[in-house]
Amino acid sequence: MPPLELLLQQALNGVMLGVMYALIAVGFTLFFGVLDVIHFSHGDIFMLGAFAGLSALLGLKAAGVAGAALALPLAFAAAMLVTGLVGVAAERVCVKPLARSSPLMTLLATLSLGLVLRESVLIFYPRGADPKPFPQLLPQGGVEVGGVAIRYENLAILAIGFAAMIAVDRIINRTRMGAAIRAVAQDPEAAQMMGVNLDRTVDATFFLGSALAAVAGILSGLYYSEIHFIMGITGGVIGFSAAAIGGLGNVYGAIVGGLLFGVLQTTAAALIPRGSEFRDVVAFAVVMLFLVFKPSGILGEKSVERV
């Protein structure tokens, strides 16, 4: 049994990862909620967000904007705008035209779009095949509390991640557009009978979910200090798994699922011999157990109601 400090340390690291997973998962769950689709290029939208963020930071640096306090918020805004618009375009190209055909077609179309995004970054980003170093803009150093090292950088990532989640919660629960998103998720036709503009609501949902993926992308760059054009594959699978174990369609489920997945990965690494090699095996094994024993997810209701 590893010492308690190590477990706590790993749990903290897990929450760090989990925040990023949760931000990706919220997108998956929002898209599924409003349109009943799994948007398989969402992982690559996350990757695109990281590259858009990096480009923005490099551009700002070249333009003489050096301080993180200014550069970072601008980079977040730019990357969120880019992925938001790409997400809306993805929905209009890969989802809406296929609304009346088999869900398999949407699956294929979104998978293909993911490939296009990935290959585009590989080809068009300078030396796209190489991992790209990501600027370290967060405060360095840290403190030790009871044997657990807490880095300021990690606290900043947690703060940004949770701020994004709280913002989503506010948008969904307190705004007119959020009410439209919830109404469409529960009954699209009744929503329209109340005056909800379906197309605009779907656009807003894809913008919101994709912008969150950009936040996750930049946080990932800040955390790992590098980004790579294939990062969206794992990011997408994990984000989707997190959304599934949380209960597809439920935003809070996606957040819980993301955090759970991150903690599972890191505690598996601490508890099992050679665990860091097996962390994904353990985490995905738990996902499979969830799919078998609780297929509607932790907070999922939608699929239950459907049966």
What stretches of the chain show up as alpha helix (H) in DSSP? Answer: 4-35, 42-62, 68-90, 103-124, 152-174, 176-186, 188-193, 198-224, 231-246, 251-271, 275-293, 302-306
- Rounded to a whole number of angstroms, the minimum distance from the CB of residue 208 to another protein is 18
Specify the residue, 174 or 274, whose C-beta has the smaller distance to another protein. 174
Shortest distance (Å) from residue 296 CB to another protein: 14
Choice between 285 and 304, CB closer to another protein = 304
Question: Is 234 in contact with 55 (CB distance < 8 Å)?
Answer: no
- What is the spatial distance between Cα 110 and Cα 42, in angstroms, rounded to a whole number? 8
227: which strand partners?
Answer: 132
Q: Which of 165, 191 has the CB closer to another protein?
A: 191
Nearer to another protein, 33 or 239 (CB): 33
For residue 176, the minimal CB distance to another protein (Å) is 5
Q: How far is the CB of 33 from another protein (least distance, A)?
A: 10
Residues 6+ apart with CB under 8 A from 155: none
Phi, psi of 145, rounded to the nearest 5 degrees: -120, 110
Neighbours of 72 (CB within 10 A): 21
Strands 132-133 and 226-227: what pairing? antiparallel
**Residue whose CB is less far from another protein, 94 or 183:** 183
Q: Which stretches of the chain bind another protein, using CB under 8 A?
A: 176, 179-180, 182-183, 186-187, 189-198, 301, 305
Tell me the closest approach of the beta carbon of residue 99 to another protein, in angstroms: 15
